[in-house]
Amino acid sequence: MDYLLVIAGVVLLLFGGDWLVKASVDIALRAKISLLVVGMTVVSFATSAPELLVSLKAAINGHIDISFGNVIGSNIANIALILGLTAMVFPMQVGRRTMRIDWGIMFFVTLLLFVFLWNDVLSFWESLVLFLLLVLYNLFQIRSSRKESKKEDYSEERLLPIWKMLLFLAAGIAGLRYGAEFLVKGAVHIATDWGISERVVGLTVVSIGTSLPELAASLIASFKGEQDLSLGNLIGSNIFNILAVLGITGLVVDLPVQNEALMRFDFPWLIGISLIILPFMLWMKRGVISRWQGFIMFLLYTVYLLGVIGVY
């Protein structure tokens, strides 16, 4: 039954996130916001909604390790697992903006979170700093997009019928709400039954489950020849996971570090994997992350998972 709850939770989160993205894009277009700005802000936030709902639900119920494991595990999976798998299938094109700006922002907020957790708790005020950085990041994205491209023409043909937009919105919210509840409940029961820590479940089952939207989006973007969008989606998701997911969750409840392995093992891996893609981007030929580099990332993720199981 617990495994069915986890599967049902992952499926609801996957579809709920997709429906919420469709409704959010339609609402943004009705407000006459350009598609570029929509992609950089509305869609990024909507695709992070599964992580947000799961972490918030887990933290409120006292399962803090699942909250941290979900975010840190998802960020490691985004760079190592999803980037690795995507590059192995489609060599990934990297744009200058991704290399010069987006990666730097991602690495900065990762280090900032590490500093905030040094005293073993993410407090309300530290969470407020993360949330304010989220607001500034979105304002920066909107301003940058306006400099780089002209605003797209508003077109009625792009809009969904009102009833369909409302249906997607309601279904998306319901899917995320119950998907988060099912996934957290099933994960906690599995951890109890098997005698393993909630940290391990958060870093594996929960984080991979909430990262499925990013995997699907990256593969689809690469298949369509939009590899830079694929990498940008992964880096943007990592930024949103820290600033939005932990920032908002920490405003609701303090987040103490309950397992020392988080800072001793998981965070060094997150920082190391975030660092290793920089030389990959600097040394790549023709601006492309190759299949062998993708394989190295995938191999590193496999080694990390073995380490997680070994230190739980």
pLDDT attached to residue 246: 92
Per the CB < 8 A criterion, the answer to whether 59 and 253 are in contact is: yes
Domain ranges of the chain: 2-150+157-311
Write out pLDDT tens, residues 105-125.
999 999 999 999 999 999 999
Helix axes 227-240, 64-76, angle to 10 degrees: 160
Q: Sign of the C-alpha dihedral, residues 95, 38, 172, 181? A: positive
User: Which position has the higher pLDDT, 79 or 214?
Assistant: 79
Adjacent-strand bridge partners of 121: 256
To the nearest whole percent, how much of the chain has pLDDT over 90?
Answer: 21
CATH architecture group of domain 2-150+157-311: Up-down Bundle (1.20)
* 8 A C-beta contact, residue 21 and residue 43: yes
Q: What is the DSSP letter of 91?
A: P
Mean pLDDT of 29-42: 62
Entry pTM: 0.79
The per-residue pLDDT for 27 is 74
Q: How far apart are CA 20 and CA 47, in angstroms?
A: 8
